[in-house]
Amino acid sequence: METIEKIKQQIAENPILLYMKGSPKFPSCGFSAQTVEAVMQCGERFAYVDILQNPDIRAELPNYADWPTFPQLWVEGELVGGCDIVMEMFRSGELQPLIKETAAKHPEPEAE
């Protein structure tokens, strides 16, 4: 699968998606650490992609998103922004309802 197709599929399949360096438990840069902490504080499940493990995505996503840096938070197919924007939204109280409302629209499938 082409890298751009993989990115589009990830964004389409995950209503709340964070492209970051490392993982939520072990972020590999300060900006990813701050961003993942803010998203986790919202209390909803989200997907993530470790761009350090996916160099093809790391190379292509900035062009696709027209956003040069990581992390990148995507909500319902739209790029919300990077660390500074996410942190500002968190401090102003804009991030929490965005994440909660998105999660409510996309409930986890019940386990059988």
pLDDT tens-digit series, residues 21-50:
999 999 999 999 999 999 999 999 999 999
Is the pLDDT confidence value at 57 over 70?
yes
For the chain, the structural domain boundaries read 3-105
CATH of domain 3-105: 3.40.30.10
Mean pLDDT estimate for the chain: 95
Average pLDDT of the segment spanning 4-17: 97
- Specify the pLDDT at position 73: 98
Tally of CB atoms within 10 A around 33: 18
* CA 85 – CA 88 distance, rounded (Å): 5
d(CA 8, CA 29): 25
Residues paired with residue 22 on neighbouring β-strands, in sequence order: 27
Enter the tokens of residue 24: 């939520």
What's the DSSP call for residue 93? T
Asked if residue 110 has pLDDT above 70, the reply is no
The pTM is what? 0.94
Averaged pLDDT for residues 62-88: 97
Whether 11 has a pLDDT exceeding 80, the answer reads: yes
Q: Give residue 80's pLDDT band: very low, low, confident or very high (50, 70, 90).
A: very high
The SS3 of residue 95 is: helix
Res. 7: pLDDT tops 90: yes
